[in-house]
Amino acid sequence: MRLVDWNIQWGRGVDGRVDLARIVREARALCDFDIMCMQEVTRGFHEPQQMGGLAGGPSADQFAELAALLPGMTVIDAIGSDLPGVGGGVGGGKQRRQFGNAIVTRLPVRQVLRHSLPWPADPAKPSMLRVALEAVIDTDVGPLRVISTHLEFYSETQRLAQVERLRELHQEACGHARRPARAEKQDSPFADSGRPMNAIVCGDFNSAFQSAAYRKMLEPIAGAPAFADAWTLAHGNDARAATVGLYDREQWPDGPFACDFVFVTEDLAPRVVSCEVDAHSRSSDHQPMWLELR
């Protein structure tokens, strides 16, 4: 099973050009992925910047664009920041501006869960609403919960609260795994609540390697298998590969460091074949990562 994780910055490369097709081509060149997790996917941010759009001019609906670029795959969306369209008036009228995460897969998908992450007040820092997108996917290494997330950039208070929530959600899922409820009936929305314990949590944690948020993700979790860093499992004590700041020094003036991670539950640790970072791509301000399990 191969998974790619990438904060794509709405497809905006270091050259300033938005090109979602370039993102897809490069991801496919990394590996024949079964699952791709993305952050910073947008809908409704296509207007010029002075009218509330994003730099480079993404398409009106990047989730739909991904579906067109990846025929035969399922595209799942989750919106963190959901804002009115600029100039839409009280009643709307303009497409809402939405910013969030995606999971794309060619594998069968069971449940899909969209978790709003905590947003405790931190008035000294700008912030946005964040989300964790979870899909239960049938893979050739068994059913997995795959979570694509993106934590707050400016506020450590919010990041730490969001990591704690990810851990609580894992604990809750393991409770469903141990004590599932039967479906009410086959065609009911009251479906079987059983969920696998094994999970992959990946995304842009906006937290440096060995930061407080990173360390918290690895702490033991009562009643649930703990998480391990897939890159460390694959590389041991080797120097950490940077995932941001390699080429875009305007946004990252302090230079390269690692802030994108792939965490796997400890039961999956023996299955990690490789976890790599592409140090060559300039198609986002972040570098793509990929994981292989067997």
pLDDT in tens, 200-257: 999 999 999 999 999 999 999 999 999 999 999 999 999 999 999 999 999 999 999 9
What total of structural domains would you count in the chain? Answer: 1
- Distance of alpha carbon 253 from alpha carbon 245, whole angstroms: 8
Residue 51 falls within a domain, yes or no?
yes
Domain of 278, CATH number, reads 3.60.10.10
Q: What is the pLDDT of residues 147-180, one digit of tens each?
A: 999 999 999 999 999 999 999 999 999 999 999 9
Q: What is the pLDDT of residues 183-206, one digit of tens each?
A: 998 889 999 898 999 999 999 999
pLDDT value, residue 88 = 56
Asked whether residue 102 is assigned to any structural domain, the reply reads yes
Is there a domain that residue 187 lies in?
A: no
- Lowest mean pLDDT segment, chosen from 84-88, 95-99, 270-274, 278-282: 84-88
Q: Is 110 helix (H, G, I), strand (E, B) or coil?
A: strand
Whether 9 and 55 have beta carbons less than 8 Å apart is answered as: no
Structural domain including 44 reads: 2-86+93-181+192-293
Do the domain assignments include residue 186?
no
Q: Which two tokens stand for residue 216?
A: 């918290």
Give the angle 171-176-182 at the CA atoms, nearest 5°.
170
Is residue 217 in some structural domain?
A: yes
- Domain membership of residue 151 (yes or no) is yes
Task: Looking at the chain, list the stretches that DSSP marks H as alpha helix, in order from N- to C-terminal side.
Answer: 20-30, 62-69, 156-178, 212-217, 230-235
DSSP E strands, the chain: 2-7, 35-43, 74-83, 97-105, 109-116, 131-139, 142-150, 199-204, 227-229, 260-265, 272-277, 289-293
Instruction: Kindly report the pTM of this predicted structure.
Output: 0.95
Q: Is 64 among the domain residues?
A: yes
How far is it, in rounded angstroms, from Cα 282 to Cα 137?
30
The predicted-structure confidence for 28-83, as pLDDT tens digits, reads as follows 999 999 999 999 999 999 999 888 899 999 999 999 999 999 999 999 999 999 99
Residue 60 lies in a domain: yes
